[in-house]
Amino acid sequence: MYREFEGRNEEDAIEKAINELGLDREDFDVEVISSQKKTLFKKGSVTIRVHVPDEDEMPEEANESEYRVPGQVLEPESENEEKIQRFIQTLIEKMGYNAEVTINFRRDYKICFNIESDDSSILIGRKGKNLDAIQLIANVYAGNLDKDYKIIIDSENYRMRHEELIVRNAFKAAEYVRRTHRSKLLSPMNPFERRLIHTALNDFDGVETKSEGEGLYKQVRILPTGKTK
């Protein structure tokens, strides 16, 4: 989701967003959508769009590994769950693939639907892009049924394996930074992936992390504590 804020300059608008949203600067991404220069008769201003991760994008909420049981199949508990399951199934069939959609876990209104298919690698896509697209569409549909629904789409435990890979690579990079005292800039990532790294390395001695760049896909830089490069 996003909110818009206006300030005298970008820093002022960001400060307003921090105060109103009650978040740390690392918790959201900023996109400058308009900028007016100061003139003799008009004050300058900057309008920013603040991208705030949804609840299911936050690490402490999104990492549902402890709730997932490989191969677990739960029955729909309501008519809405049946509708969502049927919608995802139909969506995949319209894409031209055969698949079985089941419920793997639920936590309140957060539900994970698992896709089993011979074409799972295609449905997952490069870096999970296709899976993300299906998840986005499913959330739009579910939101029309009840705005509290948070839908997670997974296949072959991709989400869990992807999270583990991100954290594992982050620790390797942190070891390099601590050993060489040289900073390391990681590949662009979405807010959820960056928060995974910030959280994983929060207690890692000898390094600190910060996000760099603009828009949703920023990069995490790992730096030696007290030093920058």
| Average of per-residue pLDDT across 33-58 | 67
Which pLDDT score is estimated for 16?
82
CA distance 30 to 38: 22
pTM exceeds 0.75, yes or no:
no
Q: What is the pLDDT of residues 82-91, one digit of tens each?
A: 999 999 999 9
Strands 110-116 vs 45-51: parallel, antiparallel or unpaired: unpaired
Per-residue pLDDT for 214 more than 90?
A: no
Which pLDDT score is estimated for 162?
86
Measured from the Cβ of residue 205, the count of other Cβ atoms closer than 10 Å reads 8
AA letter at 39: T
Per-residue pLDDT for 229 more than 60?
A: no
Which pLDDT score is estimated for 175?
94
* Strand boundaries in the chain, DSSP class E: 2-7, 29-36, 45-51, 100-107, 110-116, 150-154, 184-185, 207-212, 219-224
Note whether 159 and 152 are within 8 A (CB).
Answer: yes
pLDDT band at 56 (very low <50, low <70, confident <90, very high): very low
Q: Which two tokens stand for residue 86?
A: 């049927």
Mean pLDDT of the chain: 83
C-alpha distances in Å from residue 194, one per residue of 26, 141, 166, 174:
9, 27, 9, 14
Q: What is the pLDDT of residues 134-169, one digit of tens each?
A: 999 999 999 999 988 999 999 988 888 888 889 999
| Average of per-residue pLDDT across 60-85 | 73
Which pLDDT score is estimated for 116?
93
Which pLDDT score is estimated for 73?
80
Which pLDDT score is estimated for 25?
64
Which pLDDT score is estimated for 178?
92
pLDDT band at 66 (very low <50, low <70, confident <90, very high): very low
Which pLDDT score is estimated for 22?
61
Per-residue pLDDT for 128 more than 80?
A: yes
**CA-based nearest residue to 53, from 229, 226, 195:** 195
